[in-house]
Every structure is written in C-alpha cells, then in structure tokens.
Amino acid sequence: MAAGFKWWDLLHNDYISHNPHVGAGIVASTLLVAGAATYAVASPKVARKDAKDEDFVPPSKFNLVNVFDLMGDFINNLAKSVIGHHHQPYVPLLTFIFMWTLLNNLFGLFPGLAPATLSLNTTLAMGVVVFVYYNLCGFMAAKHHFIFNNYVGHLHPQKKIFSMGNALLLFLGPVLFVIELVSNLIRPAALGIRLHANMTVDSTVHGVFLDLFKGLKGFLGEKFSFIGEAIGAVVFAVGPVPILFLGLLVAVIQAFVFTLLTTIYIGLATHHEEH
C-alpha cells in the first residue's frame, strides 16, 4: 500500500500503521454504516400496503438518498438480468460489495487516504467471501443436487444400479469433481488478484505523474525564478486533473467488474432454480 501520511496514523496505533488496509477498511465501514443510517432516516417511511405511487417518487433535489437509490436500482437490474427471476435475495450483498469496493477504490483519489483494495490481503478476503457465499447459496437452493450440477458435470445417480449413467458417475465423477473444484478455487484468487493488480497499477501511474509534475514545478522555479514558480504551481495544480479523472474511471469500472463477476458466479450456482 502507498507510503506516506495517512489520517489513521493520528491514532498512533502500531497495528493499523503497519497494516494500513485495516485503517482503510475501518474508515470505509464507518462511512457505509453512517450512509445507511442516514438513508434509513431520510428515506420515506411508508408501508407498502398504504403507499401511493407518488410516495416512491425520488426527491427533486439530488441528495444522498438519490445516490443510494441509483446504486440499488442499478445493482437490482444487473442481478435480475444475470441471475434471473430469483435474484432478489442476493441484491443486498451485491449492493454492499459494489459500494464497499467503489468506496475503497475512491480513497486513492484523496490525500491522506489509501484504498484497502491496494492490499492483496483485502482483495483475497473479498474473493473468499464471494466463494463461500455463492457456494452456500447454491447448496441451500438445491441441496445435494448442487454438487452434481456444479461439481461433477451434471452427472446424476440413476435408479438402476447397473446403468451407463452410474458407470459414468463412478469413473468420471471423481475426475470432474477435482477439475471443477480447482476451477472454483481459482475464482476467489482470480477475483482478488485482478482487483489488487488493477488498483496497484492505477496507484502507481497516479504517483508517477504526480512526481513528474512536482519535478517539473521545481525545474521551472529553478530556471525561471518567480515566473517559473508561478507557471509550475499552475501546472502542478491542473496537470494531475486528467489523471484523477482516469483514477475515478478505474475505481468505478473495477467495482463494477468485481460485482458483475460475483453476480455471474451466483447465477451459475443457482441457475437450476430456473428449471
């Protein structure tokens, strides 16, 4: 994770100082809880049975409620299109994953903050949570059929003991199980490594360009005195803006990709509900 001053260093806690992703995670969690509490207070409190259509019309002024509504509606539509009609139970976690990932990614754009997603520990932990969750969802939805559908190539035991289906399950089942198990175990690692790698590259590019503009500012000040310092100050202030915009774009895209892959994995694990 990027070195330098972080706001949580003011706590003088050695553990957080040596593990800044923990500090970033605490800040992100606090902001999400505060945002959720604000949304609960600010959103209309109407019972569905008594509500009218106009009660669900969002406020005309753009505020925090609108932001949460937009994100929730976006994730709900994504889940519905990928998972299917049974998407609703999975929307809360998917929404949290998107907001958590996006918020942590955005930390890299602010001085004194650093994304928890810069740490491989954080991104791998996120991948493991996704892995456990979608397997649990699949098993709860289909019980033992989940194993046959997702880990042994849809080979199911037949009623007749001496049948071709049972023979295939006996001989190919263990091989397919190992292959599918490895394939599924790769998913959380791929999720974590991909997010970590992309955010690390983005942070590195950001740092390189900041150092470049800082060096240019010093060079202009040294060569052209007061006028050079003035021009250098303007360049240093304006130059990083496109890089910050690029960082904002990367933060949003990476949060979306992580959420999309999670949604796809849930859809694959629970697709049998469509039949």
Backbone phi, psi, residue 239, to 5°: -55, -45
Q: How confident is the model over 59-77, as a mean pLDDT?
A: 80
Percent of the chain with pLDDT over 90: 23
Please classify residue 117 by burial: count the beta carbons closer than 10 Å to its beta carbon, then call 0-12 exposed, 13-18 middle and 19+ buried.
buried
- In the predicted model, what is the mean pLDDT of the chain? 79
Extract the tokens encoding 203.
Answer: 């942070």
Q: How confident is the model over 32-46, as a mean pLDDT?
A: 74
177: pLDDT strictly greater than 80: no
Tell which residue, 248, 203, 3, 204, has the closest CA to residue 103.
248
- pLDDT 10s digits, 132-167: 998 888 888 766 666 666 666 555 555 455 555 556
Q: What is the spatial distance between Cα 144 and Cα 146, in angstroms, rounded to a whole number? A: 5
Q: How confident is the model over 101-125, as a mean pLDDT?
A: 87
What local confidence, expressed as pLDDT, does residue 192 receive?
Answer: 92
Beta strands in the chain (DSSP E): none
- pLDDT 10s digits, 93-105: 999 999 999 999 9
Residue 196: how many other CB atoms lie within 10 Å: 22
Higher pLDDT, 130 or 148: 130
Q: What is the spatial distance between Cα 63 and Cα 268, in angstroms, rounded to a whole number? A: 36
131: pLDDT strictly greater than 50: yes
How close are the terminal C-alpha atoms of the chain, in Å?
46
Please classify residue 113 by burial: count the beta carbons closer than 10 Å to its beta carbon, then call 0-12 exposed, 13-18 middle and 19+ buried.
buried
Torsional class of 62: left (φ above 0), alpha (ψ -120 to 50), beta (otherwise): beta
232: pLDDT strictly greater than 50: yes
Question: Would you place residue 273 in the very low, low, confident or very high pLDDT band (cuts 50, 70, 90)?
Answer: very low
Which residues touch 205 (CB under 8 Å, ≥6 apart)? 243, 246
What local confidence, expressed as pLDDT, does residue 275 receive?
Answer: 41
Torsional class of 143: left (φ above 0), alpha (ψ -120 to 50), beta (otherwise): left
- pLDDT 10s digits, 196-228: 999 998 888 888 888 888 888 888 887 777 788
- pLDDT 10s digits, 16-34: 777 777 878 888 888 888 8
Higher pLDDT, 28 or 170: 28
Tell which residue, 258, 196, 4, has the closest CA to residue 110.
4
Q: Which residue has the tokens 């809360």?
A: 92
Cβ-contact 25, 103 below 8 angstroms: no
